A = this chain, B = another copy of it.
Amino acid sequence: MSPIQEPILTFDIKPHLAHQAQQVETALEDLLREQVMDGETVRPARLLEAMRYAALSGGKRLRPVLLMETAALFGRTDEGVCEAGAALEFIHCYSLAHDDLPAMDDDDLRRGRPTTHKAFDEATAILAGDALLTLAFDVITGEMVHPDAATRLRLGRELSRAAGIGGMAGGQMLDIESENRDRTEAEIRTLQAMKTGALLRYACRAGAILADADEADIQRLTRFGEIIGLAFQLADDLLDVEASSDVTGKATGKDADAGKATLVALLGADATRSEVSRLLEEAQTLLAPFGDKADNLSAIAGFIANRDH
């Protein structure tokens, strides 16, 4: 895939993103270790192992990194931000474990290794997903995330809405229903805004909320998160059509095989690339008032639009 536009920034964002992802990995590790050390009740070893397998798979950790960079924009960079990011990542990882199940997308591989139900079994993968989803609400409302109880409540309730029937879970339902059926552009946009958009939107919104940004800035970053979600999905659809399976580490052309309508199929690759460019411009406009402080977020937006895996 050819770059959609030249990178605006002169520095390479990737080492920074890798460092942030490593911080998230450590937070996830710690949170899934505490479950063992707590000692209050039994933590079934096999279930914890499956939760760790589903959650500690490496990767870019895009959602928590977005949350952390948004918080950093307003001056918060402490460990509590990373913990909020970890809660969000637990939600993402539970959804992958469930979406990969035979009854859902029926995937055997993710990031080049067996999916959770392949590495364990279906029952364990279902329970590991359930337990990660449940744990996320404990973590997002933890003392470290924010000193104010009302703010932690807001973060928890908004996470529930982003992940539930009006967000990610609802989007997955629409996605399953769209197999082997014609869908309009509007229908595809709705399902994508819910299935992948809701958590990316939440990432940017939550980062602003927990850093005590004012409501106008929270709205601005919410819109930025929506744009990230749109660009991410469009780039993903382009990749699915164009990339080789060697690069992505998962089967490609899979959406087309499953009879799933994508925007690329409806609009064509050129129009899709144009839309990504327009989104990237809007993202830069939204970040402009923050000046240099938004360099990282700006670079992430460019990175998402141009990613090759």
Interface residues of A (CB under 8 A from B): 35, 38, 40-44, 46-48, 51, 94, 98, 101, 103-104, 121-124, 126-127, 129-131, 133-135, 137-138, 141-142, 149-150, 152-153, 156-157, 159-161, 163-167, 169-170, 172-174, 176-177, 190, 193-194
A146 to B123, CA, bound (A): 36
Chain A interface, >50% SS class: helix
Residues on B with beta carbons closer than 8 Å to the beta carbon of A190? 41-42
* A174 (CB) vs chain B CBs: closest residue: B44
Q: Give the contacting residue for A126; candidates B40, B47, B103, B165; CB below 8 A.
A: B103
A40 to B222, CA, bound (A): 15
Check A42–B174 contact: CB distance below 8 A: yes
Q: Give the contacting residue for A170; candidates B44, B94, B138, B174; CB below 8 A.
A: B44
Residues on B with beta carbons closer than 8 Å to the beta carbon of A44? 165, 170, 173-174, 177
Residues on B with beta carbons closer than 8 Å to the beta carbon of A176? 123-124, 127
- State how many angstroms separate the Cβ of A161 from the closest Cβ of chain B: 6
A165 to B132, CA, bound (A): 8
